[in-house]
Amino acid sequence: MALCVKAPSGCWEWIGYRGSKGYGQMRVDGTTVQAHRVAYVLFVDPLLPDELVVDHLCRNHGCVNPMHLDAVSNMENLERGNTSTAKSRLSEVTGLCRRGHRLAETGRMRGNGYMRCSECHSIDEKARRAKRRQEAST
């Protein structure tokens, strides 16, 4: 039985039950547990300490791809929040940018040490210029 599907982003989307915040949930030995925590234990570290939480580097609460998960303290998880830093860390792991371009072919190093996709930068700049032209003409 398949419990996830691979999305273009590289996420493995949980297709079982999801809680109100979008986290996949399942029952193990009569207890409800988070699906991404189970994926981490199965594929990364079977000795995951209870005091650590499993952070989604992709920021997708429904993702159970072990390459997108990182065990951290609750404080670190809160500090990471929904930041571009987490997305940059994911890029380093997957080798893909947020739109799925291969960073090895389209990436360039930024001053902060993270890769930036040149193709995405070009797409974003064209969209900004088009928006400015449209605003100027009205």
Tell me the per-residue pLDDT of 19-44, one tens digit each, with 9 for 90 and over. 988 999 999 899 999 999 999 999 99
Contacts of 123 (CB under 8 A, 6+ apart): 99
pLDDT in tens, 76-128: 777 777 555 555 666 666 677 767 777 777 677 665 555 677 888 888 899 99
pLDDT in tens, 117-128: 788 888 889 999
pLDDT in tens, 48-76: 998 999 999 888 899 999 999 999 988 77
List of long-range contacts for 7-12, beta carbons under 8 Å, 24+ apart:
8/100, 9/58, 9/60, 9/96, 9/98, 9/100, 10/58, 10/65, 10/67, 10/68, 10/94, 10/96, 10/100, 11/58, 11/60, 11/62, 11/63, 11/65, 11/68, 12/39, 12/63, 12/64, 12/65, 12/68
The sign of the torsion formed by the CA atoms of 91, 96, 99, 104 equals positive
The fold adopted by the segment(s) 4-94 is Homing Intron 3 (I-Ppo) Encoded Endonuclease; Chain A (3.90.75)
